[in-house]
Amino acid sequence: MSEAYVHGYHPRENERLQDQAGTLVELLHSDTSYPPGSVVLEAGCGVGAQTVTLAQRSPRARFTSVDVSADSVAEAKRRADAAGLTNVQFQQADIFALPFAAESFDHVFVCFVLEHLSRPVEALAILNGLLRPGGTMTVIEGDYGSTYFHPDSSAAHKAIQCLVELQRLAGGNALIGRQLYPLMVEAGLEAVHVSPRMVYVDSSRPDLVDGVTRKTFTAMIEGVRESAIEAGITDPEAFDAGIRDLHRTTAADGVFCYTFFKGVGEKRRRA
């Protein structure tokens, strides 16, 4: 894959990604299941945060889950074993150089991967080539520009912008969620349908306050503190003020909003 990551590799990040999958799993995955016998590629499985959900929801489909990082693949395999999964095989592989035959998968699943890539359309086109005609591609991405909250705070928006900027410097795009439709169409997919998955959090939903606002989103932004300061994008005082204001949105009168996007498209059928 040869792409720099802004997040996803450190142990505390792994924990965060797992929290994220636990809290948001229904929102993101409830409408994805694959029929018995179907052969599915999960491209960019990372540490397996989505793999366990995916494979458990389609127990009679067979999954191949790949990631560019051998360490991540090892951790993903450990998790799949711990969950007792028997329908997933793991493999280290680069999305831009996948060792699979053309049209060898019934379905492809890609989650939280495109945001890290400088050539997302090329990646989707390669994956499209691995799909049999009529097979489906499912893509899920977040969008940091979809974030807003109460009380509003320019310091908090600037802290979020640090992650967006670091992602951009690393060749990625933290605002990619909103672009799924044009990206998937440009990659050659047909019948593309994108649906937003908005997370709305107020204090009547304490599980989301803790699981989404605090432990997923704010933790994710906090995670880029040192990198953003080192890169000269912010300074400690400004950044910490933004983090304080993000935590402020978890108070009894606070509100937090974030949106994921899920796109499903189809591989062109033969004429």
> Which residues form the interface with a copy of itself (CB under 8 A)?
143, 145-146, 148-150, 152, 175, 178-179, 181-182, 185-186, 192-196, 198, 200, 202-204, 252-255, 257, 259
Half-sphere exposure for 93 (CA within 13 Å, toward CB): 19
**Pick 58 or 138: Cβ nearer a copy of itself:** 138
- Nearest distance, CB of residue 26 and a copy of itself, angstroms: 16
- Nearest distance, CB of residue 189 and a copy of itself, angstroms: 12
**Pick 226 or 253: Cβ nearer a copy of itself:** 253
Half-sphere exposure for 169 (CA within 13 Å, toward CB): 14
**Pick 227 or 259: Cβ nearer a copy of itself:** 259
**Pick 10 or 193: Cβ nearer a copy of itself:** 193
- Nearest distance, CB of residue 122 and a copy of itself, angstroms: 17
- Nearest distance, CB of residue 175 and a copy of itself, angstroms: 7
Planar angle of CA 130, 262, 211, nearest 5 degrees: 125
**Pick 61 or 174: Cβ nearer a copy of itself:** 174
Half-sphere exposure for 165 (CA within 13 Å, toward CB): 16
Helical H runs in the chain? 11-29, 51-57, 70-82, 120-130, 154-169, 180-186, 206-208, 219-222, 225-230, 236-248
**Pick 169 or 191: Cβ nearer a copy of itself:** 191
- Nearest distance, CB of residue 254 and a copy of itself, angstroms: 8
Residue tagged 């028997």 (tokens): 86
**Pick 126 or 264: Cβ nearer a copy of itself:** 264
Residue 20 dihedral angles phi and psi, to the nearest 5°:
-60, -50
- Nearest distance, CB of residue 200 and a copy of itself, angstroms: 5
Q: Give me 106's structure tokens.
A: 């019934």
Antiparallel, parallel or unpaired: β 255-266 and 131-150:
antiparallel
From the CB of residue 148, how many other CB atoms can be counted at a distance below 10 Å? Answer: 15
Look at the alpha carbons of 59, 65, 71, 72 in this order and tell me if their dihedral is positive or negative.
negative
- Nearest distance, CB of residue 198 and a copy of itself, angstroms: 5
For residues 180 and 174, what is the distance between their CA atoms, to the nearest angstrom?
Answer: 12
